[in-house]
Amino acid sequence: MNDNLHQLRCCGCGVRIRGDQAGSIFRCKDCGDLFEVEYPGWGLVGGTDRPNAGALKWLWRERRASGELLDRSGVWRFRELLPILDSFGNAVTLQEGNTPLYHLPRAAKALGVDQLFAKHQGMNPTGSFKDTGMTSALSVAKERGFEWVACASTGNTSAAMAAYAARAGLKCLVLIPQGKIAWGKLSQAMDYGAVTCQLKTDFDGCVRVLSTIVQQAPIYLLNSVNPYRLEGQKTPALEIAEYFDWSVPEHILVPGGNLANSSALGKGLREMKALGLISRLPKISVIQAEGANPLVRSFVANDGQKLEPVAANTRATAIRIGNPASWRKAAKVIHETGGWCLDVTEGEIAVAKAELGREGIGSEPASAVTLAGLKKLVADGKVAPSDTVVLLLTGHTLKDADYTIDFHRGTLLKPEEAEPLLPEIAALRRDAVEVEATPDSVLNALKEISGRWV
């Protein structure tokens, strides 16, 4: 099989170009919309390029026992569904993917939805779901001979890009909003050797600056407007389907920032259905933070047909995005699958994150919007007790340890944010206590505290 079977199609006007014609500009010259990767050979039933569903399921399972580097990647294990490289031998991998799917018994009980799971994409090599898209897009950059790659980021994309660039021996430029990204993420970009510029603007401002830079210099853009990112980011949908033996859950809930992840998962599911790997689509719902909710506003105002950018503000800094690039793709996924788009408050995010923590599942705040959103969907009767639900957790808890510590110290939320949730917060908070260095003092503290906490 030829490794490269793709072309790019503009999502707005439908114009098609060869992959290498896009260079580093991923907006259509005619209408300005984004491209998506398309595999024309898949349309021909019985055609030589169309993968066979049964054979693929067998092959992918076999590869789980393989020691080959590409087979050990949870992205490239599914490489027949991302034939974007001239040679798969050019793939740059850190053995991403293959992330755990955890049952959440406590949240399931509290919500009355027994089959509740978390797909933890924070368990990737750099601690976020971005690795799955970076392995695919950065491999394209390397194969096409770029020496420099760049992204604007709220932190996780830059951490992932810097790591994969380091593996590939490419140089990389990171633009981040000054003071608005978590330290864990900034430290990763430095560790992996990126040129990191903190700009006195927000994420949306960083995107604007970078889009001009890549028109003036031979730098490959690795933001999620790059359609090859989405090819890797669709593979968690394959892992989920494989986990449930190709009978997909009723619901998948995804945090919404720049809206590429929801778009990618939707694309993966759409392609699986077209190829006969699954027989129906789960409902994909996108959850945003109340202070960074342009897609929610767009659904309320015009059913997701038009989007007005907002000035974004949330402590879930990963999704502090007011002008999301992939909003049209995400709106299409929500419409096509019958899912919803809703937002949650700062207090609801903090409580949901602490509840996940209590199940032994750490995550960064942006990931916890999914549990907070699920509570609302259950309350509205949109998720039934018999439904199977998967929450997409996108980042590792250690990315933003300050947030967690502030919550437990009681310094995270403003009184008006905490007020509607005081009993929940009181039950979840676990500040560290200072105790004398003697067994008696520790035992006394235990007695006193366990009376309050247990």
Residues that bind ligand F0G (CB under 6 A): 128, 130, 153-157, 224, 255-261, 318-319, 364, 366-367, 394-395
Query: In the block, which residue shows the tokens 């007005």?
Result: 308
- The least distance separating ligand F0G from the CB of residue 395, rounded to whole angstroms, comes to 3
Mention every residue, 6+ apart, whose C-beta is less than 8 A from residue 411.
Answer: none
Q: Which is nearer to ligand F0G, 256 or 339 (CB)?
A: 256
| Closer of 24 and 188 to ligand F0G (Cβ) | 188
Minimum distance from residue 275 beta carbon to ligand F0G (Å): 24
Least CB distance to ligand F0G at residue 396 (A): 9
Give which of 366, 364, 356 is closest to 398, Cα–Cα: 364
**Dist. CA 333–CA 264, nearest whole Å:** 9
d(Cα 370, Cα 261) in Å, to the nearest integer? Answer: 13
Q: Which is nearer to ligand F0G, 6 or 130 (CB)?
A: 130
Among residues 294 and 347, whose Cβ is nearest to ligand F0G? 294
Which region, left, alpha or beta, applies to residue 249 given φ > 0 means left and ψ of -120 to 50 means alpha?
Answer: beta
Question: 115 by DSSP, 3-state: which?
Answer: strand
Nearest distance from C-beta of residue 342 to ligand F0G, angstroms? 14
Structure tokens, 329: 């793709």
Q: How far is the CB of 370 from ligand F0G (least distance, A)?
A: 9
For residues 277 and 289, which CB has a smaller minimum distance to ligand F0G in the complex? 289
Residue 442 has φ and ψ, to the nearest 5°, of -65, -40
Q: What minimum distance in Å lies between the beta carbon of 399 and ligand F0G?
A: 7
Measured between alpha carbons, how far is 26 from 9 in angstroms, rounded to an integer? 11
> What's the closest the beta carbon of residue 261 comes to ligand F0G, in angstroms?
3
Q: Between 19 and 256, whose beta carbon lies closer to ligand F0G? A: 256
- CA end-to-end distance (rounded Å), the chain: 60
**Which tokens is 356 given?**
């996940």
Query: Which residue number, 10 or 265, has a Cβ lying nearer to ligand F0G?
Result: 265
Write out the two tokens for 433. Answer: 């206590």
Per-residue exposure over 201-223, b if at least 16 CB sit within 10 Å of its own CB, e if not: bbbbbbbeebbeebeeeebbbbb
Contact predicate 132/143, CB 8 Å: no
Q: Where are the beta strands (DSSP E) in 178-292?
A: 195-199, 219-221, 251-255, 283-289
CA atoms of 454 and 440, how far apart (whole Å):
20
> Which CB sits closer to ligand F0G, 59 or 166?
166
* Phi, psi angles (nearest 5°) of residue 450: -65, -30
Q: How far is the CB of 320 from ligand F0G (least distance, A)?
A: 9
Which CB sits closer to ligand F0G, 51 or 257? Answer: 257
Q: Identify the burial level of 258 via C-beta atoms within 10 angstroms of its C-beta, where 0-12 means exposed, 13-18 middle and 19 or more buried.
A: buried
| Dist CA 136 CA 222 (whole Å) | 10
CB of 216 to ligand F0G, least distance (A): 22
